[in-house]
Structure 1
């Protein structure tokens, strides 16, 4: 109920600051070819996410096949759009990997946590790398400081998490809850062995975030908004990084408010920002429906509800 109220409130503030007639005109004149490209990019993005997660699961010593990782990732995308949280898909991945594929709760939870941590760190790295160009586009000192702090905080958090593996078999590990973080950090260490796997995961992470930027830029082209790719590379990552905080339903409202704010600070049309954000949200929902279809067709849904015996998933593991 609180998330629903906050989502509605943020959407209200985002809508209040724009010209709705302009938004309507932009949507009415949308270029379908660019829209198709956006959908294709978002589908490919989930595929890359699946490959990255597969590498992490395998580093945790569970033989997850690429097809299975892709299936679970698409289903997770569906739950991200339908559950009242941006981390609903993570919970779905954990449940299905642990129960449906018999990976166990530890491997399932740690692999998803590490996957999320790597994604956030890579996003913070991209935000930090783009700071010189961001400063050129955004003149407001408070906004500059905010983006800098967000990027630095993300990098610092990632480095602290990685360093936790050094405290294995120490007194610190005995603290309540800390041992799980250390165990997850140990999985992250395994991802780096061999180094080529870490490099592969790093490349996948950057491709995932650049796909979000490209999809946003393509949506801007679809509605005829005069926004360059470099500018979108500077604006979108901070928005996505802050929007990962699960305080609204599927990120709605928070994402729109951040987009409007970012575009306004860069001297761009706020109506274009809202239009791009809403259309991207709709495109992600459409792609999520693919995962919904896979979930309905998969026997994993019965297993997840405890309505089918062990044999229900046998075909999934062949």
Structure 2
């Protein structure tokens, strides 16, 4: 199957999944949940989501400059929000937007490898921190989650904490992994990354990335929680710290358009143990998806429509 056909198929699969999830949870109840959404909490959630992505754009800029690709903060924000608009509209979840950011840097005259690695490592650092915070949130919610897995709460919590600590330690082993990688992988495409991790400021740079990624995830969890509050879903902060991991990870899979369908299905599964009804959980996922659409539109209007980056 040709690429346009695959993209269309992914889009149809995602929309079909969204339709199936809504149908199984009763469309009338989902619509009723969305109609009762409180505007104040919706605005709080949108502002938190926007703040999260501004921090993400600045994190990407810092990483790109560290790798040798110069980019101004305004360009970084413009390209990041343009990429969000593409992510919300094109099949493939975050893939289209990430390619756009890399191409924007390249067309601005920056090194191809550095541009590509800046986007890859930026995405990886975000997913790394998302999984870590989700693991800690799961450990904190062990009393509720462990019975669903038929595990003792104490053992479940210890497993989550141990796994999260090992996960957090992985980036610090990157220099050794690159040094010991097979010769066939030592191509020119690895040169910018190898040179970067051998620099004396590698640990300081990665610590900055970790702190920025933590801020991004805290703000994203706040946006998700505010969307829940708008629908009357009131849960402790640690529950949202756990729930955001499966919700955001499923939304990032290249199986749909803008994460629609996979995000809502994950919200139902993640929030069910805490007594959240399926229509309300679907509503929470849809509101977060609408935040992405709104930011893509606002970014296009305020910062310029997607276009070729200046040479």
Comparing 81-90 with 287-296, which one deviates more in the overlay? 287-296
Q: 1:167 to 1:40 in 2, by over 3 A?
A: closer
Q: Report SS of the residue matched to 2:110.
A: coil
Aligned to 1:121: 128
Task: State the Cα deviation string for residues 46-66 of structure 1 (Å, max 9, x = none).
Answer: 110011111111111233222
Offset of residue 16 of structure 1 = 2.8
Offset of residue 279 of structure 1 = 1.4
CA contact (8 A) 1:113 1:184 kept: no
The CA RMSD over aligned residues, in Å, is 3.1
Aligned to 1:48: 55
* 1:203 alignment partner, one of 177, 188, 211: 211
Q: Distance in 2 between matches of 1:171 and 1:269?
A: 48
Q: 1:141 to 1:85 in 2, by over 3 A?
A: same
Q: Distance in 1 between matches of 2:150 and 2:120?
A: 32
Q: Distance in 2 between matches of 1:192 and 1:27?
A: 52
Q: Distance in 1 between matches of 2:241 and 2:113?
A: 36
CA contact (8 A) 1:76 1:92 kept: yes
What pairs with 1:1-318 in structure 2 (closer than 5 Å)?
1-86=8-93, 87-99=95-107, 101-138=108-145, 139-141=147-149, 152=163, 159=170, 163=173, 165-166=175-176, 168=178, 172-175=182-185, 179=187, 182-183=190-191, 185-186=193-194, 189=197, 193=201, 195-293=203-301, 296-297=304-305, 301=307, 303=308, 313=310
Number of aligned pairs?
Answer: 296
Comparing 34-43 with 196-205, which one deviates more in the overlay? 196-205
Comparing 53-62 with 127-136, which one deviates more in the overlay? 127-136
Any unmatched runs of 5+ in structure 1? Answer: 305-312
Q: Distance in 2 between matches of 1:243 and 1:157?
A: 22
Q: Distance in 2 between matches of 1:185 and 1:231?
A: 36
Q: Report SS of the residue matched to 1:285.
A: helix
Task: State the Cα deviation string for residues 20-64 of structure 1 (Å, max 9, x = none).
Answer: 332222222221111111121111111100111111111112332
Aligned to 1:310: none
Q: 1:40 to 1:24 in 2, by over 3 A?
A: same
TM score, norm. by length of structure 1: 0.81
Any unmatched runs of 5+ in structure 2? Answer: 1-7
Offset of residue 152 of structure 1 = 4.9
Offset of residue 133 of structure 1 = 2.0
Q: Distance in 2 between matches of 1:118 and 1:226?
A: 29
Q: Distance in 2 between matches of 1:253 and 1:42?
A: 20
Q: 1:168 to 1:24 in 2, by over 3 A?
A: closer
Q: 1:234 to 1:263 in 2, by over 3 A?
A: same
Q: 1:188 to 1:46 in 2, by over 3 A?
A: farther
Q: Report SS of the residue matched to 2:182.
A: helix
Q: Report SS of the residue matched to 1:103.
A: coil
Q: Distance in 2 between matches of 1:49 and 1:278?
A: 22
